[in-house]
């Protein structure tokens, strides 16, 4: 096996028609080895006297590498390429989600209850009492995933159609992890006012709005205005989902190092959507020594009291045109570095000026802010946004459970108290006896996440007065939703 690993995102399957002659298949495996492609499964499809058809699966480093390997295979004597398939594209054929009816239409009587004339009575009941829409429709368990395609993953402004597969994937996570029905809403506009109007127009059918992959600074305006206009939870996941998981990971990292969030010096690099939200939640959690940097250098700074007062709106502490120092200078004496910016902005040696027991969260994807293999050796705790290193900080750890909790109590907003409660619950899933330098955040497949985090979010919503429905202690989440 090569260093590509068993879970490459560039796994190809070539259907090869091979002459039934000794050495032909061996020439294929030898070519793959020379080309640094990692051979996986080999399946026999068909056999005749003269030919054998095999499906040969192998991993490559990327699209260009794959094309080179296929071109070399075409030139092998006794080998004919029938077809080449990419498992990622096969996985997306026809899309990743679909709608199912809860009740099969098997008789005329059932049809009359599901649709006309019976449904008219339900519509009349909602018209007389709009609150009944939560009990009598999908609204209570539905979220719209809204994007304009302006900041998709690390691909940038690729447009709303190209964003559809990502939003479908998000919908899968909502359903699989939290049993929330989520629907991709990819808009053909990037005008903030048009986005706001459109979301307001579609809001009656949904219990929450998840804003996704909308570029900064427009995302701040869109989220703030929608929160003011709508009476259902609105959350820009790139901001707050990421911030919640960062805070949870930091809480556990600080437990290991024996430091307090009030005392440590934290440097945040990248003041886009995730960076600003990260700074806000860290201040809300008690951080007092926080500085932020962008491409120009350190532009977010202020006295502890000033920063605490400005945690809801940091802009008065951000001096965009007057950078105070370079990022490397800011790291001097820092306990924590959090990167939500771009790859390789630091060299491993730059971390040497930080304090001992340094904590580094380098979350740029696919390349972290500092080369991970070398940086890990210099840090007490190191985390990334990648799945191939310990301590993956992934916003999917937060958003399904946060919306699950908000929907369960029909919260009107997702407020600061709910986000802090989510971070505390997420951190608390790892006991003191389990906590270690390579395990500061639970796995996304930890079955406890949604139950614990959603309960904490629901409780915080009730305590802060934004819940319109109470959950009952002792009952399961499913019973409370019914």
Mean pLDDT in each 10-residue stretch from start to end of the chain (482 residues)?
Answer: 52 92 92 92 89 92 91 94 88 87 92 93 96 95 96 88 95 96 97 97 97 92 96 94 96 96 95 91 93 91 72 76 91 96 92 95 90 93 89 94 97 96 97 93 93 96 94 54 56
- Residue ranges, CATH 3.30.70.260, the chain: 11-92
HSE, CB side, 13 Å, CA atoms: give it for residue 81.
Answer: 17
Which architecture characterizes domain 258-395 according to CATH?
3-Layer(aba) Sandwich (3.40)
Using DSSP's 3-state secondary structure scheme, residue 57 falls into strand
The catalytically annotated residue of 115, 197, 315, 447 is 115
DSSP letter assigned to residue 188: S
- Residue ranges, CATH 3.40.50.720, the chain: 258-395
Q: Which residue has the tokens 């029905």?
A: 181
| pLDDT confidence of residue 312 | 63
**Is 322 part of the annotated catalytic residue set?**
no
**Is 170 part of the annotated catalytic residue set?**
yes
Distance of CA 479 to the CA centre of its chain: 28
The catalytically annotated residue of 10, 139, 170, 227 is 170
DSSP states along 250-271: HHHHHHHHT--TTT-EEEEE--
| pLDDT confidence of residue 186 | 97
Give the span between the Cα atoms of 434 and 232, in whole angstroms: 38
Tell me the sheet residues that pair with 318: 300
DSSP letter assigned to residue 350: G
Judge: domain 108-232, CATH 2.40.50.220: no
| pLDDT confidence of residue 4 | 44
- Residue ranges, CATH 3.40.50.10380, the chain: 108-232
- pTM summary value: 0.85
| pLDDT confidence of residue 474 | 45
Fold (topology level) of 11-92: Alpha-Beta Plaits (3.30.70)
| pLDDT confidence of residue 321 | 84
Distance of CA 307 to the CA centre of its chain: 28
């Amino acid at each position: 096996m090569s260093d590509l690993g068993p879970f490459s995102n560039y796994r190809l399957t070539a259907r090869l028609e091979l002459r039934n002659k000794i050495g032909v298949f061996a020439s294929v495996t030898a070519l793959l080895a020379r080309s640094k492609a990692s051979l996986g499964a080999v399946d026999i499809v068909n056999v005749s006297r003269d030919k054998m058809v095999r499906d040969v699966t192998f991993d490559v480093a990327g699209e260009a590498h794959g094309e080179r390997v296929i071109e070399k295979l075409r030139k092998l004597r006794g080998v004919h390429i029938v077809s080449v398939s990419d498992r990622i594209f096969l996985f997306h054929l026809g899309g990743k989600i679909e709608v199912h009816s809860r009740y099969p239409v098997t008789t005329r009587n059932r049809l009359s209850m599901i649709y006309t004339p019976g449904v008219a009575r339900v519509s009349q009941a909602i018209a007389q009492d709009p609150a009944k829409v939560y009990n009598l429709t999908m609204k209570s368990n539905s979220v719209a995933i809204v994007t304009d395609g302006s900041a998709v993953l690390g691909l940038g402004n690729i447009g709303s159609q190209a964003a559809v597969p990502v939003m479908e994937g998000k919908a899968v996570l909502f359903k699989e992890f939290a049993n929330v029905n989520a629907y991709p809403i990819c808009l053909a506009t990037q005008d903030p006012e048009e986005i706001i109007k459109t979301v307001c127009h579609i809001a009656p059918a949904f219990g929450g709005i998840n804003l996704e992959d909308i570029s900064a600074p427009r995302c701040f305006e869109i989220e703030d205005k929608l929160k003011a206009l709508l009476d259902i939870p609105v959350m820009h996941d790139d901001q707050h989902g990421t911030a919640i998981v960062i805070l949870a990971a930091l809480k556990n990292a600080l437990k290991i190092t024996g430091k307090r969030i009030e005392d440590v010096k934290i440097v945040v690099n990248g003041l886009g959507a995730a960076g600003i939200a990260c700074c806000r939640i860290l201040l809300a959690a008690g951080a007092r020594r926080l500085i932020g940097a962008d491409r120009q250098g350190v532009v977010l700074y202020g006295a502890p009291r000033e920063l605490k007062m400005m945690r809801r709106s940091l802009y008065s502490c951000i001096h965009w045109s007057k950078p105070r120092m370079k990022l490397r200078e800011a790291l001097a004496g820092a306990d924590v570095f959090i990167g939500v910016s771009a790859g390789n902005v630091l060299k491993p040696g730059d971390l040497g000026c930080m304090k001992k027991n340094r904590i580094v969260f380098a979350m740029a994807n696919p390349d972290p802010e500092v080369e991970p293999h070398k940086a890990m050796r210099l840090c007490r705790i190191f985390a990334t946004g990648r799945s191939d290193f310990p301590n993956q900080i992934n916003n999917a750890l937060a958003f399904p459970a946060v919306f699950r909790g908000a929907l369960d109590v029909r919260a009107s907003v997702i407020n600061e108290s709910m986000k802090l409660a989510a971070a505390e619950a997420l951190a608390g899933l790892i006991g003191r006896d389990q906590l270690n330098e390579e395990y500061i955040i639970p796995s996304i497949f930890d079955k406890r996440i949604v139950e614990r985090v959603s309960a904490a979010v629901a409780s915080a919503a009730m305590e802060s007065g934004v819940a319109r429905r109470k959950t009952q202690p002792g009952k399961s989440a499913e019973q409370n939703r019914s």
